[in-house]
Structure 1
């Protein structure tokens, strides 16, 4: 499994951060992995969208994902919206976790790719190296964007 994780304190209320993340066209400004967004549909605390991700800086195949805010507002989970051919190559999962405190919100972000064993030996290391840099950079950009906009 390849993953990247980061934690940042953002001097904004959790609700404001959550709305920024759920507005994927706006969040795209801080997350290069989103690539080209084809469409976005929001129904309350669930956002479904089709996009062409950028993986390791390269365009990946178009996929549809679902972004779900938990009922208690403390977590956003992201994963495939429907089975896709890419699931055989890599399983994707991600989350944001929110803890209010210290005059703002502590945000934890994690992104994971799980590859089948036939590919893991080849892809785990480069994806882990990329995500170890990309996820903290993404969260730092989100912090700067939100705190500057305040």
Structure 2
């Protein structure tokens, strides 16, 4: 399994951060793993979207997949690749999960971003070493960009 986590404190509320995450078109501005987005379907605490993903350390984009994000208000967003036709090939060779876990902190929100890929069969030996090298830096960069984006965009507690 390839897994990476990073933690950052961002000057926003947990709900502001989680709302940003649930908007894949906005979040794609800070996450290179999200390529071309085909569609987005949003409900109150969940978002499904179809997109062309990129896997850090691997060349080129992946096939289009569908992702499902579910929010626990004020606390976290969890991501999975549901068992749908668009994900048939990806789900045959791998398992994916990700999360953003938020804790209120002085000056904003401390968020821990975690991404996990578990490949099956020969893909495990071919793909996971590249992910082990590239994923940690990608996650750190993603959180730094999210911090810059949110702190430039969102006043905390109504401050100007």
- Tell whether the structures are fold-level matches, with TM greater than 0.5: yes
Q: Contact 2:83–2:91 at 8 Å: present in 1 too?
A: no
CA distance in 1, matches of 2:61, 2:89: 16
> Normalising by structure 2, what TM-score?
0.88
Where do 1:1-150 residues align within 5 Å? 1-56=1-56, 58-70=60-72, 72-83=73-84, 84-150=88-154
Q: Contact 1:34–1:52 at 8 Å: present in 2 too?
A: yes
CA distance in 2, matches of 1:46, 1:141: 23
Task: State the 1:117 CA deviation.
Answer: 4.0
Number of residue pairs aligned between Structure 1 and Structure 2: 149
CA distance in 2, matches of 1:19, 1:68: 11
Task: State the 1:120 CA deviation.
Answer: 1.6
Could you list the runs of 4 or more consecutive aligned residues of structure 1 that deviate by over 3 angstroms after TM superposition?
A: none
Q: Contact 1:37–1:51 at 8 Å: present in 2 too?
A: yes
Q: Which sections of structure 1, spanning at least 5 residues, go unmatched?
A: none
Task: State the 1:4 CA deviation.
Answer: 1.6
> Normalising by structure 1, what TM-score?
0.94
Query: Which moved further from structure 2: 110-119 or 8-17?
Result: 110-119
Q: Contact 1:76–1:96 at 8 Å: present in 2 too?
A: yes
Spell out, residue by residue over 1:55-83, the C-alpha distance to the aligned partner (whole angstroms, 9 max, x if none): 2352101111100002x531110011324
Q: Which sections of structure 2, spanning at least 5 residues, go unmatched?
A: 155-160
